[in-house]
Structure formats: structure tokens, C-alpha cells
Structure 1
């Protein structure tokens, strides 16, 4: 079972066991769907025809943007694990906003790969820190925008020192 919601606050509970057996809010949902390719579909439900196109799909955040009969619809899906985390008050645990990157150990800044105003994504390299004769690439732990760089090339830094701040 998953829960699907839209931004105005409409929520549906969807239970599916197979492509031909779907319950919507506890009631059987009869539909006919044809895959037209490239993220486009044609659906029939209760005698009405719908054209749907997947505009954007972010599987990490479980947000899908569709265009249904020309109208944009943003959907957010929650599986049973997301719903459990929400019931336990831990729903925001996976979406922690990172405000700064700190030095994990003392060392020397040997490369700076970003600049203020640059958008970065989780896993993007930010700086190279040389420590104990080894180069360590420090990467973004989340998506964000670099607001300032608090170090310069060849600076010696201490453990815990702020290296990069994010907007």
C-alpha cells in the first residue's frame, strides 16, 4: 500500500497487487491504460479518456510531476516505510538541510572545486584536503548552493573548521 498526495492536500491510498488489481481508497479502481512510449500514456476510466505524460520523476524524494490532459499535477508518494517514519515522528530524518561543510580532520587545502553561487548536488566534489600525505576529496552531503568558501588554497585547517557554507 502506498499513499499518494497532491500539493492542494488531496490524498489517496493505493493498494496494488498486480497491474489489473488496484484499490483506490479501499474501492476497486477499474481502468484501461496503454503505454505510448517515452513516458506517455493513454488511460480510460469510467468512460472518460485521459492523456498522461511523466514530466519529471525524482525517485529519491518520491515526487512525480505529470501532465494529465495538459494540466500539470505534482504527486508525492509514501510507501509503508515512509508512513511508519511519519507515525514515529521521524519523517524529516532523511531531509536534513546541510548549512556548512566542516573539516573532518586537520590538513592542507590543495584544491577548491567550487565557487560562491554555484549549485551543487549530493556527491559533488567541493574541496581536496591533504592529510597524512593522502588527498581526501570532500563531497557535498546534500544538494545546495555554495554561499561562501571560508578557506583559500594552501590553507592549513583544523578538525571541525568550517570550510564551505551553503545558502
Structure 2
């Protein structure tokens, strides 16, 4: 018997197999469900899912919530203290290939995190969005729109 820890907007709920079988859950559309629990009616819509992070954004009766699901393995890892948040600080962004800068989405002083779009680089007839590989604050942008860059050329300095 596996219990699931569900955290919805920092409120933790433990869902055990008996609870899950007592839910009256009916699919009413694509990613939409009607749930009856303890004589209360809920309309639930799944807005976004990230299976790798085991997170969802759900809408319950018109209100959006962030949800995190922790199975038995996740609970054991957390209990053992093996979850450590690592923040990857970066010092620079370099051109991954030669090309032409066609857009700059970043600004000096902007705080960025991993995945933040920074530059659009046109190379081999394709537009490539260069994103941040970690977090930091943009110190300087060493290119302008329509500049050509070589592979490995420094395009953004971080602090």
C-alpha cells in the first residue's frame, strides 16, 4: 500500500489507497474531471504537467494551484535528506556556433535562471534561442542585433 504526498500551494495532503478509491472521479472532457469527495463537488482541469519534476498546475472550481506529487521513492529520498537544491551560477554565455544575432531578449541588470531566453542566433538557416544554463545577473551584453559571431565567442557576461 503506497501513500502519495500531494502538496498543493504549500499545503500537504496524504492520499492513501483507501482515499483514492473513495473518490468519485469522472472525466468530463480533455484534461477535465468532476470529483465528488465528502459530499462536495469539484471541477478540476489540468492546465500544465511536468512529469520529470512531478508537478502540475491544476484549476479547481476556477482557482489555479501548483501541485507536487511525491510517491514512496520521493518520500524516502526526502526523509534520508538526499534532496539538496543546487543552484548553478554561470559567469558567461558563449556562442555555441557561428551565426548572426537576430534578437536580444536580455537586458543588463536582468536576473536570469536556467532556461531564460537570452539571444536569438541565426545559424544554418535556423533560428536558435540561446538560453541561460544557470542563474545570475547580466553584467554586459557584448553583441548587438545583426552582429556575426564565431563559435565560442563571449556574448553575455554574468555576475
TM-score bucket of the superposed structures, by smaller chain: 0.5 to 0.7
Larger relative helix fraction = 2
Q: 1:104 to 1:72 in 2, by over 3 A?
A: closer
- The equivalent residue for 2:12 is 11
The verdict on how the C-alpha distance between 1:82 and 1:97 changes in structure 2, with shifts beyond 3 A counting, is farther
* Aligned 8 A contact 2:113 2:132 in 1: no
Give the gaps of 5 or more residues in structure 1.
Answer: 16-21, 130-136
1:140 paired with 2:140, answer no
Structure with more contact order per residue of length (Cα contacts < 8 Å, sep ≥ 6): 2
* Contact 1:5-1:77 within 8 A present in 2 as well: yes
Q: TM-score, normalised by structure 2?
A: 0.58
C-alpha change, 1:47 and 1:102, in structure 2 (3 Å) is closer
Partner of residue 67 from structure 2, selected from 75, 83, 86: 75
Looking at structure 1, the residues matched to 130 and 47 of structure 2 have their Cα atoms a distance apart, in angstroms, of: 29
Deviation at 1:141, TM superposition (A): 5.7
1:104-158 per-position Cα deviation (integer Å, ceiling 9, x unaligned):
99xx8433354043899849785579xxxxxxx795365889955324634568x
In structure 2, stretches of 5+ residues that fail to align are none
Q: Whole-Å Cα distance in 2 between the matches of residues 166 and 57 of structure 1? A: 31
How many equivalent residue pairs? 144
- Report matched runs for 1:106-117 at 5 Å: 109-117=98-106
Partner of 1:38: 30
